[in-house]
Structure 1
């Protein structure tokens, strides 16, 4: 649909054109009406019609004066159609001087007017198509020149002049760098392209894999360096369901300096590593006085993590990772340094796992994809989260394996105790038999049996004493010695503690 403005000082003439001509069927919509050239000039400027159908002889300013005034303003091209009677043929001749070659006779006959309007509609369609092709060609030419500048390629003087002319339309230019995940790149690029179709002086430039840039021109002091234009705010809204990083550079007054904007945008983008909000745009202005630090003593950090894994201390490992993350953030360590430290630590963890199981070590490598840490779309939380998960998984697996092994050895230890309880058996001697540390052995027995080694030893001896008392063939002192007590008093103490009576009293209950 093309917009048409009707101008005539006779209300009946305007009413007749609106009533008897099927504008919509002809591809037009009436956007406004007025009754003199002065008012018509203002409405053309305000409404932006594609076609103006105007009477010639009107008060204040006639139709031809209005057309001449509009053309001198060098504004948007508008087609005009003159409406006049036979007696005003000289107006039609004069109108040709202004490039007006469409003429409607009064009174307007709908059939004749519609034929003329169909011709005008086709001219507008042809002009629109030509403008579209010209606009696309101009757009692609500017994008091509921007790419050449970004790649540090020389451009002809004529091309520099062209870019300077394009630059003059806006007070300032900037570069917004956008990085996406591979799976969403095509969709997000298409959304940006659709948005830019409605914008003046905004260009999409394809860059490396999974990244593109938007070059925007700004007007007014409110859009100075570091601020985001409306396009960027709309993109943030469109991209909210996705993982996207965006950064703007330092503004420049000309497209010839767009390479500087691009490099400052890249510098700002690296600070997304420490940004909690994936969809917040970072400007170069916000980070220009916050330099990264490249020196970091990682030995203490790594020793703490390795010690925690060696001791199978999951809580200690978590605290070590959290402490490292806080330290990185507080010191603003360069992302590439943090990634190198994390990768090195991941390999150390996997080597510890490899000593226990080659299969499990390879599983960790495949799961945590150590090469991913070299990617650009990562934050500190991502890197340290991978490190934490890998370490915790390693500790969990080693603990489960240790438990399996300890269950098997505990069965053998308990069997040995039952066979040798009547001997001079101690936790130290037991540790020597099974090649275990006495403290660790004591902990294993407590965890498996629910009671200490000494409690288990006395229980077994008293149980055997009860059996021998039932046979009624040995003295109490002989029984005490046979079950492993060198002193009767010790036997008596342990027996009474468990049976709540003396051996003699217990014997009486049996016979």
Structure 2
């Protein structure tokens, strides 16, 4: 049975066409209907109809534009019957120029429809009888992949010991058009068929390879990879290639094809350099590396001019996203968001470096063009290394680690600062750095941080800010805890301090 999709905005026409004739008696089956062109475009890739009956006049995209779009985007392309009213003759004439198989005037005549279906059935059967090595080879291959056919019709010498589907995703950091894809496909066809390794076809958005006898040769996949690599070097393209596993006959090709498509969903995680036949091994989630804490560590590492600590924080973030099954888009958005926040914060804490830091925003945005996870990480690491290097060049830091800690505390006191985070950013053991800090400043790290925060709180209270606002601004999320700390170091509550600012300032 040949499948049919009916596209018409009038419900009576749609349902009338379903029942006007016995479709199965004519060798066809109506698999679905669509009420407009956009709905049809969504259904065509799923249903892969052999025939579409389309109304010319529809709201939004009309039938002719739908026809053009499908002819441009879908292989194999269905055959078309156009429906029109008497006033649509010019539309109908244009439709005939687009090589539709006929048009019918409304109301539909049953005998006329049956006549068209008879002609179309013969035409489709003739398509299927054509030599597979001819122009319709790709249509025949795709019908095998979809499971619509179980063996290639007509003459063919593809009696191989095994069959396997490989899919190639052509990639580049630069934009490339369909001409480049066509060139690469033609070169691949020439290399593979001349070497007797298989045949090439389009499997949008991939280039497909129907591989011959791969189960019989241990080095078959490496040979396939080498041939693709040679072509892509010539076309100045990169690529990822996956294969769905060898099957014993043509009827089983759908399984190999679907397996290859499933593997291709993971292409962002593949490093390249070989043909992939397995899903990537996902890392184990680091339950101690929470997103918010890693974001803080990234900011502190950049402040401390330590690219290694920044790299470690970024890698932990990425590991957890990958382990959780995040999509390519989500991973890219996550990294870009965290880096943007870190850069914004850096420009605030280092106002003298603001213009310099802002220059990296475009570099961060360019991460969207990366199509491999490891390349994305390397790009991120290089940005962090360059930022830290420039900050160091400009004399942003001091050699003395305790002095660096003090600077970091004063610039970032409102953040969730921890001795462990600073130690990691500075490349020291936290216990050792804590002792060193107390030896140099006379205060424990937490006490020093509290005192810096309270001094900033006093300034804000002098400005008339509300207590809960001050607590949040200086880094205390719990107002009661802020009250306790303020009373401990100042001797009065924040409210009393604000009421008696003049007297207390005199006492100080």
TM-score band by shorter chain is 0.3 to 0.5
Larger Rg: 1
**So what's the TM-score if we normalise by structure 1?**
0.40
